[in-house]
Amino acid sequence: MSLPVKLEAFEGPLDLLLHLIDRNKVNIYDIPIVEITDQYLEYVAAMDRKDLNLVSDFLVMAATLLDIKSRMLLPVEEEEIEEGDPRQELVERLLEYKMYKYISGELREMENEASQYMYRESSVPKEVSEYETPVCIEELLDGLTLTKLNEIFQSVMRRQTDKIDPVRSKFGKIEREKFRVSDKIRHILNFSSGHSKFSFRNLLEKQASKTEVVVTFLAVLELIKMGHIHLTQETIHDDIIIEPVNMELTEEQEKELEAALEE
């Protein structure tokens, strides 16, 4: 008649491996894989097979140990030497598990210690908890002079000045100028309807900014491309003379101009 044997419960395969390493008093960085594997398999063989999920985890680790054991028993080739110790990955997993197990144990002890204390709500009346010691104005202002008040005021003002960014404080507000080439084309056409000839400088007399001048110049170039104006200049530094030409537009030119005005 066989005697029932009660096995110690372990949270998982790594927990069992750590137990075997501690029981055999071996170095975790130099695990005797053959001995540990045999002991591990003995435990797995005696496990209760009702919880298949738990058993499967132990069987996966058993397969891993057998693989490491076989690689360490077989002759070592040069390529395998370069790959390193086959136990290295297992050691890293054990060290990580050991660290988390230690932390969880510390937290469990803290929880047990905290459970021994009992707290109660404050029984201090609301009137007492909200009580504030009255301020004596005479004692508060005792020894205060205009000189001290001025020092306090200057100190506060210096703090406010120190908060100001010397660079960003000088930034101004940048507003976007709304000028479109289509609007300037319309303006030039209206202006040229009452002038048979005019200078480019006269066209720019009422321009408010550099951006508007640039947009006006682009509008002039667009009208030249469409053949509505003609430019002449005697020398490089002379003023540019603009002459409207062909003011009666064909149907195709009207479509082209409308397309420019819709930009």
Mean pLDDT over 169-177 rounds to 63
Model pLDDT, residue 4 = 38
Tell which wins on pLDDT, 44 or 140: 44
Question: Residues 6 or more apart from 14 whose CB is under 8 A from it?
Answer: 61, 93, 94, 97
Model pLDDT, residue 8 = 59
The upper half-sphere exposure of residue 54, i.e. CA atoms within 13 Å in the direction of its Cβ, equals: 12
Model pLDDT, residue 16 = 86
Whether the full predicted model's pTM is greater than 0.85, yes or no, is: no
Contact 197, 241 (CB under 8 A): yes
* Interatomic CA distance for residues 81 and 79, integer angstroms: 5
- Characterize 209-231 residue by residue with b for buried, 16 or more Cβ atoms within 10 angstroms of its Cβ, and e for exposed: eeebeebbbebbebbeeeebbee
> Which is nearest to 34 in space by CA: 20, 13, 22, 47?
20
Tell which wins on pLDDT, 131 or 172: 131
Model pLDDT, residue 2 = 36
- Percent of the chain surpassing pLDDT 90: 2
pLDDT above 80 (res 159):
no
Q: Which CATH class is domain 181-261?
A: mainly alpha
Tell which wins on pLDDT, 131 or 178: 131
Model pLDDT, residue 258 = 66
Model pLDDT, residue 7 = 47
pLDDT above 60 (res 256):
yes
pLDDT above 50 (res 3):
no
> Which is nearest to 248 in space by CA: 262, 228, 221, 231?
228
Tell which wins on pLDDT, 7 or 148: 148
Question: pLDDT confidence of 1, banded at 50, 70, 90?
Answer: very low
pLDDT above 70 (res 6):
no
Model pLDDT, residue 114 = 86
Model pLDDT, residue 166 = 66
Most confident of 29-43, 70-84, 100-114: 100-114
Mean pLDDT over 16-24 rounds to 87
**Which tens digit of pLDDT belongs to each residue from 200-215?**
777 777 666 777 888 8
Contact 59, 13 (CB under 8 A): no
- One-letter amino acid of 184: K
Model pLDDT, residue 173 = 65
Structure tokens at 263: 């930009």
Residue 58: C-alpha distances to residues 45, 48, 51, 71, 131 (Å): 10, 12, 11, 20, 65
Tell me the domain boundaries of the chain: 13-113, 181-261
E strands, the chain, are 198-199, 229-232, 241-244
pLDDT above 50 (res 261):
yes
Which ranges of 116-229 would DSSP assign to H, the alpha helix? 126-129, 137-140, 146-162, 181-192, 200-203, 210-226
Model pLDDT, residue 86 = 82
